[in-house]
Amino acid sequence: MQNVTLNNGVEMPILGFGVYQIPPEQTEEAVTAALAAGYRLLDTAAAYQNEEAVGRAIKNSGIPREELFVTTKLWVQDAPAEENTKRAFQTSLNKLGLDYLDLYLMHQPYGDVYGQWRAMQDLNREGLAKAIGVANFYPDRLLDLVLNNEITPAVDQIETHPFFQRTADQELMREHGVQIQSWGGFAEGKNDIFTHPVLSEIGKAHGKSVAQVVLRWLTQRGIVAIPKSIRPERMAQNIDIFDFELTDDQMAAVATLEAGNSLFFDHRDPAMVNWLSARRVDA
């Protein structure tokens, strides 16, 4: 497995396993299969409601803790944000059955972002969260956080796939030492991604699936990817991407698929801000 080095020296696998939208009753089995397939980066969130199942799979795997890279995410906190952030962190840690997290992300760019970030900086300084970062921060919000705080986010996890490639966002992150991570790498099947002629042709040239082509395209750009599946054969296929490389022409071909906008929702849309800000996760 290839690693990326975060801005504080922490090593993070470039390919991991995500559990978004996996029901809690299926999560333990899925994570167990993923660990058996060789994944060592696991990505969950308080909002996914499956942290406990992830924790059981970790405990029963027998894999030494230091060989795993575990990420979870903080949901929007009510005031006092600093106090509630630390309480939410401890709740997630307890559900996962861990003594520390490798990466703790602020899930949404809403609420008292600064209060939440101050608490996360404390958790990082105390060694409870080896690295801290954000998710769904557009460049303006990310840069504001970078310029006005002591600790720069190590990661920004954002929607990134062949139809929304985020090249300008990645460049800004690179300038400020923030690692880009993709969610929705397969665009959740939208735009017929798994049968797309451009991606299918590239896959045919390498004897690989479209999913493998997309993951190779992401990781070849230096983007951390966290594909999700509940099927062991797909998990094994998705991690088998380090024995081929896309050519410059093939990378350019994928670049032509850029549509320039989200296929899901815009975090700057007032209606979405209202909806996400009003949602609360039990902690």
The pLDDT of residue 56 is 97
The pLDDT of residue 245 is 97
Query: Could you give the 3-state DSSP secondary structure of residue 104?
Result: strand
Pure H helices in 62-127: 81-96, 113-125
Type of residue numbered 185: G
User: Which pTM was predicted?
Assistant: 0.96
Measured CA distances, 260 to 39, 46, 239 (Å): 31, 30, 28
Cα gap 206→183, rounded to integer Å: 25
Measured CA distances, 51 to 28, 225, 228, 243 (Å): 9, 19, 15, 32
Residue ranges, the chain, pLDDT below 50: none
Domains of the chain, start order: 3-278 (3.20.20.100)
The pLDDT of residue 263 is 94
Q: Which two tokens stand for residue 236?
A: 């094994």
The pLDDT of residue 283 is 58
The pLDDT of residue 20 is 96
What tens digit of pLDDT does each residue of 254-271 get? 999 999 999 998 999 999
The pLDDT of residue 132 is 98
Active site positions, annotated: 48
Cα gap 212→163, rounded to integer Å: 16
Query: Could you give the 3-state DSSP secondary structure of residue 98?
Result: coil
Name the helix (H) or strand (E) containing 61: helix 51-61
The pLDDT of residue 163 is 98
The pLDDT of residue 217 is 98
